[in-house]
Structure 1
Amino acid sequence: MRILVINPNTLASVTDLVATHVRQVAGNRAEVVPVTGRFGARYIASRAAACIAGHAALDALAEHVTGCDAVYLACFGDPGLAALREISPVPVVGMAEASCREAAATGRFGIVTGGAAWAPMLTEFVGSLGLGERFTGVRTIAPTGDRIANDPDAALADLAAACRRCAEEDDAGVVILGGAALAGLAARIQADVPVPVLCSVAVGTEAAIAAASSGDRQPPALALDSIGLGPALTRRLSGD
């Protein structure tokens, strides 16, 4: 099976990082097709950037989904997820949704990520999933994910401390380390945190593999006139 992995920001280095970890988790169960956003913010750390990223994700899906069995939106925050599902002929998995649902299944959960702007955005996102009663909140550290990816060792102590605060002060029974650029760091800080720390990239990968294995296919019935969009997205929106 083939999984289209969409990084809706424009940093190819983040795409490479995510693809490496998705392949490690998937092993020989799936072929990974990584794609970087064709336009938009270098890294998503604001509402405006997230909105643009949703468009970039739609553009990437339209261009590359043919021949794939599932789509993995590899951005914690899932920009454009509902719209992707509306136009996709195959299942679409969002990194944040998959992680939050898995964490909530075990009890109370918190989120740790990079960049203060994500705290209200993710709080609203969790509420939209109907998981607010099990959510203990978001703890952020100052560097955004792109900076963490450039020097992960420098962020480990702060990430571990934020996860401990989720457990000890917020009473979270599990913590999601959220963010494509934080791939692989959960395992590196787990020994310093008293509750399980979930890697959002790994959780989303397993969900994408399960979705691809389901065989669900629902060709969208769209007939939307548009102007100024990329050719592939224009065709998909028109139903061609």
Structure 2
Amino acid sequence: MKRILVINPNTTGSVTDKVVDHCRRAHPDVSWHGVTSRFGAAYIASELAYAIAGHAMLDAFADHYAGHDAVLIACFGDPGLLALREIAGVPVVGLAQASFVAAERHGRFAVVTGGKAWEPMLTRFARTHMLDAQLAGIYTVELTGVQIAAAPEQSIDELCQACQVGIDAGARCIVLGGAALAGMAGMLQARLSVPLLDNVSIGAASAVAASHLARPDAPQAGAAGAMTALGPALTALLA
């Protein structure tokens, strides 16, 4: 049985539990191990929180990586994605990158997520990873993903309106982004005229597929350069 480590880069354990539960129901033949970051933001809503989340995610990986065949970063924004790929020695999948790649297969696409701060952050992410060629736009609602997850029925109208804006902009599919929004695509799909992609479902499937691939080369000892004052597990991993 493949073992996949799910790392939540924020400190909200309920989000970790929701993502892991979604992954387990979709792929019961895989062992899913969820970990919540021990420091950082309860919800990532700024570039500062995003940067700290990348460090927190690396720290969590160092504590829990042993025996896993792949890693899934449980944040739609993938903080620390490229850094973790440098040191992991196993495939690393991010919810955002996996979802953008899947959406591109439909042609022009849009992203809908919670939290206004994510519009510029995800726009930058798409450009950095060269995933913006087919991107019609990033559309956000006022409520954060955690707030939406607490009362999902109350957010359906607003999310559908944001999806419709993306459709009007030419999107042939919509990515519903946000770890906390796992499973919500099914609540909205009947009201939309294009496919609605669940980012956690895509991330889980991508991580399972990646777990069967040949492992990337392990980093050479000390390849990251001299580091000081990191956590003991991360220090040992980078030595």
TM-score (norm 2): 0.96
Structure 2: which amino acid aligns with 1:129?
A: H
Question: What residue is the counterpart of 2:9 in the other structure?
Answer: 8
1:74 equivalenced with 2:71 (yes/no): no
**Structure 1: segments with no counterpart, 5+ residues:** none
Question: What residue is the counterpart of 2:144 in the other structure?
Answer: 144
User: Cα RMSD (Å) of the superposition?
Assistant: 0.9
Query: How many residues are treated as equivalent by the alignment?
Result: 236
Q: Distance in 1 between matches of 2:202 and 2:99?
A: 6
- Secondary structure in structure 2 of the residue aligned to 1:208: helix
Question: What residue is the counterpart of 1:205 in the other structure?
Answer: 204
Structure 2: which amino acid aligns with 1:234?
A: T
Report how far residue 66 of structure 1 moved.
0.6
Question: What residue is the counterpart of 2:179 in the other structure?
Answer: 180
Q: Distance in 1 between matches of 2:129 and 2:73?
A: 16
Question: What residue is the counterpart of 1:227 in the other structure?
Answer: 228
**Structure 2: segments with no counterpart, 5+ residues:** none
Question: Identity across aligned pairs (percent)?
Answer: 49
TM-score (norm 1): 0.96
- Secondary structure in structure 1 of the residue aligned to 2:212: helix
Structure 1: which amino acid aligns with 2:26?
A: V
Superposition map of 1:51-200 within 5 A? 51-167=51-167, 169-200=168-199
Higher helix share: 1
Report how far residue 145 of structure 1 moved.
0.9
Report how far residue 171 of structure 1 moved.
0.6
Report how far residue 217 of structure 1 moved.
4.0
Q: Detail structure 1 runs of 4+ shifted over 2 Å in the superposition.
A: none
Report how far residue 154 of structure 1 moved.
1.1
Structure 1: which amino acid aligns with 2:209?
A: A
- Further displaced range: 127-136 or 178-187: 127-136
- Secondary structure in structure 2 of the residue aligned to 1:133: coil
Question: What residue is the counterpart of 2:213 in the other structure?
Answer: 214
